[in-house]
Amino acid sequence: MVGKAMINDFQEEIEYRKLALKKDIKKSGGNCARILLALVLSTYGLVFIMTFSIKFIGPMIGFNVVTNLKENMILGLSSDAYNFFAGYFTCIVGDLIAILIAIKTIKVKFRQEIFSKNKSNKMFVLLGATSCIGVGMISSMVYMIYSTVFKILGLNIPQPDFSFPKQNSFLILFLIYVCLVGPILEEIIFRGFILRSMQKYGNLTAMIVSSILFSMFHLNLVQFINPILMGIVLAFIAIKSKSIIPSMIAHIFNNTITFATTGISLLKMPILEYTFGTLYFLVGVAALLLFISKYKSEFLEIVKEDTRILKTYQKVRYSFSGAWSRAYIVFYIIFIVITMAATNLAK
């Protein structure tokens, strides 16, 4: 009888700890989703306010709000100016709002935990950053497969506008955002607050949740696989380094080399494009293989986590089960469906 009572008490304790862990994961995942929801709503809210202000208040103060696409004018602004202020500038403001909310809601010490001193060596950071090229190539191949499936079904995937601005001033601002400011702010949010807040449930859980959210943050199917795979690599770099500074370096390098490749293709110089493309491929493959070979055992050690109460897949599932998480998932699905419908109905 005593033994049976002890077993019952033990089982009750396990169930209690399981319920408590589920509740805590649900809350933490919800806080992460709330940050993203605030980010996207504030970003698109600012776009609406800016467009409304120009369109309706502009004429009252004598501002010309005529849109003429042939002359590259949108609401009286050059298309470069409009795209910057309605696109990248609002993204920066949205990121900053998300960071402020994260500081208030997520129990992570901003300086001590997020910007702690780098614990990894330069070779690890260099290989990690360069391996992002290989990850990008794998992502592109996966994208080609599912985009082909969509085409067979008669559907086109909406393409994000990554075109370079024609005006020099906005080209410089565009490159500063894409290659520097954007990666820094995104690393603070995803490998800083989100990854760190989920690490108490296990590194693998934190990697998966932060990478899925990183993918959903981009709000398009073109950038669906790449942020997940890149998110895993960046998360590993951040966890091993115990700092997001190396993951920032890797993210900055990835964005810079990607847009350098695009820029070279626009020069219409086949020899330069072929040479750079060949080097890009060889370096990317070699770096990724070397990175995997050299750090595979450390990665496998890092992703080990306690699964006695909840398995990893259960922890990930509960991370997306809260009200805020479901709200962001619904928003993401609606956004993707609307953009897909708009693209394909306009054919």
Instruction: Check residue 277 and give its pLDDT.
Output: 85
pLDDT digits (tens, 9 = 90+) for 90-141: 999 999 999 999 988 887 776 666 667 777 888 999 999 999 999 999 999 9
Identify which of 133, 163, 39 has the alpha carbon closest to the alpha carbon of residue 94. 39
Q: What percent of the chain has pLDDT over 70?
A: 89
Q: Is the pLDDT of residue 68 over 80?
A: no
Q: Is the pLDDT of residue 33 over 90?
A: yes
pLDDT digits (tens, 9 = 90+) for 220-245: 999 999 999 999 999 999 999 999 99
- Report the C-alpha gap between 201 and 56 in whole angstroms: 50
Q: DSSP labels for 120-182? A: S-HHHHHHHHHHHHHHHHHHHHHHHHHHHHHHHTT--PPPP--PPPSSHHHHHHHHHIIIIIH
With H, G, I as helix, E, B as strand and everything else as coil, classify residue 68.
strand
- Report the C-alpha gap between 119 and 241 in whole angstroms: 5
Instruction: Check residue 5 and give its pLDDT.
Output: 56
Mean per-residue pLDDT of the chain: 88
Q: DSSP labels for 78-110? A: EHHHHHIIIIIHHHHHHHHHHHHHHHHHS---I
Mean pLDDT is lowest, of 34-48, 65-79, 267-281, for: 65-79
